[in-house]
Each structure stands twice: as structure tokens, then as C-alpha cells.
Structure 1
């Protein structure tokens, strides 16, 4: 929308119309578009190895081609997209070896996150995690793997927020986003859901009691067992976190 600026000088005050948008407005819009495309990749609407046509993407999400191009460049920096000169962009395909490397990084981040969250978690954050645990138990009892996975991701998100460390949260998110390139639409078996739920309960108990060392070890262990769950089923279909 055109904005009005007041120009002051030696003469009378005049009103000048301008169509310029504030840089923060443009940045906010691009951030929103990036989140849309990230979601498409994470939901499997854009699959690893799939070519991403700039114009088709722009039409799909209702933006200009230049905006779509900028978003793809940002996602390339995040490791989700690869852009090849004269060939365009495609969703990055992650190898098993690369996924293993990311799991090792993620386990280290989890250890740090567990320790910090145990020391910094608020009462509201504790109640939010407790509510998520109860809902995860119900999903596990109902053998609803899709719901369980969604709640699992939300639990991890709330736990990371409890660390009050923006840099840690940002790095962890980048690692998790890269892993989604390999862990598409993970499936938990009933046994795996029960084990995972128990691991979350152990993490929560340590957090609630302010046991920093135990929380660090429990969260790291949870990530490493998630890695093993994935390896156990990789020949069939990769599982979730």
C-alpha cells in the first residue's frame, strides 16, 4: 500500500506518495514463503531428488518468480535444496552416511539441551510437556503412529525452547530439517512407540526434578536410540525421531 512521507525544507510542507516497502516487510514476507516451501518438503509434497520449477512453485504458492528464486537460494543455504547451473533446483537427496553424521551432531545438541532445559524450564513449560506426554501415551495406546510422530516433534520443539538458547535452537532446527530429507513419513511400530514414550517420560522426570546431568544423558540416549530404530528398519522404511 502506498505510504505518505512528509518532506521538510525551506518551502512549504508537501506530501509525497511512495510505493517503497520497508525492508523488514519484504524480509517477513520471504520468511513466510520459506516456511511454506519447508513445509512442502517436510510433508513429502516435494520429494528428495525432485526438480523444483521456479515458475511452477511461484504459481503454486501465489508469489512472483523472483520471490520463489530467493526462497530456493535460502533453502540451498539451509541444505534442503541444491541448485545446479543451467539445470535448475531440486530437493536435496540425503545419503544414509550423511544421516548418520547428522544423528551424531543431533545427539550432542540433545545432551546440551537436556542440561540447559533442566536448569531453565519454567512452570508453564513443564505443564506443556506434561500435557504432550499424556497425549503421546494415548496415541501410543491407540497405535496412531502419525499422531504420535506429530506430538513427538512438538515435544522436542518445546524442550528446545526451554533451553532459552536461541543459537542452540537454530542449529538444532537446521539439523532436524536436514534429517527430514531422509526420514520421510516415518512409521513407528507399537513396540517402538512404547519405548519412545518411556524415553520421553525419563527425559521429563529429569527435567521436572532439575536433574541436569540425568536430563542431558536421557535426551542424548533418546536421540541415539532413535538412530538405532532407523537403522533397524532402514531396509523397509525409515522411521521417525
Structure 2
């Protein structure tokens, strides 16, 4: 039996890792695009066939997705898309709001005119998606907009933690996207870019913080909608007065 040299073995491992990474990215894309629903079971063999790979890269991709917080692995049961509990989502929103405030403040001090112009183009794209009623495109542009803000902040460690939080929230936030809410998000994004362009660190930070906390409130309302007003009791029938002979 042929024995691989250390160099060939290393190359084979890198190729395997690279393929697993590609598989992870595709499964992640499908999860975030709601092709798989929270709580849905993911099957190695089915995904391997769908993606045209062996089961090994899918198994490794599952491990990486588990570490990223997008799936959960249950012993003897399999791998499932994570279903984020409301309490956990609300905590993530609060943490993210503080992180977004930092991003807004920093970008107001460092963003160039060309960079703010690019941010406006993302907001314009979200506006067009809103008018077309296209929640899928809006969601994608929204993620790209916030990721652009993150990259402009230029902190690698911060970026890694932030992106995990965003992906976890994506499992629950899609239900927030209605034509009305998309219009609200777009207005909030414009306000953020306006404050950054004005180099107003206080206003930019507050606009970012408020944007996230408003999203938190919408999520809460979607889980616990306002109770319907009780039906009004029918008014008692009015008795018609009977005229007596004396009254006639």
C-alpha cells in the first residue's frame, strides 16, 4: 500500500478542509436564506448528494456550523438547525446594540466621503427592495450593509464575535420583515449614514443603538402581539313606549 509523504498528506488535508469550508458556506447560506427552517433536521447523505460531495466534508461542515451557533448536534439523533429562544435573542439584541454604538461612533470619526457614498448605495438598494416587496433581497442587502459598517470599523476580533451574533439573530429575525418594517429599517439606515457623513459621533452611535433596540422591540411584539380588543356587548334593545288610551 502506498504511503503518503508528509507533504502530500498536508496537501490532502488542506484540500479536504477547503472543501469542507465551501460546504459549510453553502449550508450556512441555505440556513440563512430560510431554505431550512429552525428545528429542521439536516441529513448528511441528502446534503452530500445535493452538493455533489462525499459525506466527509458535510460532516466536517456540520461541526463548524455547530461551533458557529447555527446548528445543534444531538447524540444519536442527528444535526438540527438551531431554534433561537426569544429570551436568548433579546439578550443578543442588547449586546449587539452596544457593539453597534461603538461602530457608529468610530465610523463618524474615520469614514471618507467615498465610503459614505457606498453606504448610501446599500440603503438605496434596500429602499428599492422594499418598494418591490422583496424581503429576500432586502435581507441580503441589510446584512451586507451592516457587514460593510463592520469592516470599515477595522477590528478583526470584534468582527468575529459580531458576525456570530448576526448569524444567530438571522435565525429569528426574518419574521420581522414586512413591507412596513422594511420601510422603517430603511429610514433608520439613512439616519445612520447621515450622522456618519456629518461626522457626528454622538448622533451616529445613538442612531445605531436605537436601530438595534427598535428591532428588538419589533421581535418582541411579533412573539407577543397585542391582544385583540374584546367585542363590544350588544346594546340592549330599546323598548318602545306603549301609548295608553289616556295618552292618545
Same fold at TM > 0.5:
yes
Q: For the residues of structure 2 that align with 1:146 and 1:57, how far apart are their CA atoms?
A: 23
| Equivalent residue runs for 1:1-241 within 5 Å | 21=11, 23-184=13-174, 186-190=176-180, 192-235=181-224
User: Which 5+ residue runs of structure 1 have no aligned equivalent?
Assistant: 6-16, 237-241
Deviates more, 1:35-44 or 1:136-145: 136-145
More helix by share: 2
Distance 1:134 1:87, change over 3 A: closer
| Cα offsets for 1:29-88 (capped at 9, x unmatched) | 322211101011111222111111112221211222111111101111111111112111
Rg (Cα) greater in structure: 2
Name the count of aligned residue pairs.
Answer: 220
Distance 1:35 1:185, change over 3 A: farther
Distance 1:149 1:51, change over 3 A: closer
SS in 2 for 1:156: helix
SS in 1 for 2:72: strand
Tell me the TM-score normalised to structure 2 length: 0.79
Q: For the residues of structure 2 that align with 1:67 and 1:146, how far apart are their CA atoms?
A: 28
Deviates more, 1:145-154 or 1:165-174: 145-154
User: Deviating runs (4+, > 6 A) in structure 1?
Assistant: none
Distance 1:221 1:51, change over 3 A: same
User: Which 5+ residue runs of structure 2 have no aligned equivalent?
Assistant: 226-248
Q: For the residues of structure 2 that align with 1:124 and 1:159, how far apart are their CA atoms?
A: 13
Distance 1:188 1:31, change over 3 A: same
Q: For the residues of structure 1 that align with 2:82 and 2:49, how far apart are their CA atoms?
A: 22
Tell me the TM-score normalised to structure 1 length: 0.81
SS in 1 for 2:150: helix
**RMSD, matched Cα:** 2.3
Q: For the residues of structure 1 that align with 2:35 and 2:51, how far apart are their CA atoms?
A: 13
Q: For the residues of structure 2 that align with 1:215 and 1:28, how far apart are their CA atoms?
A: 39
SS in 1 for 2:153: coil
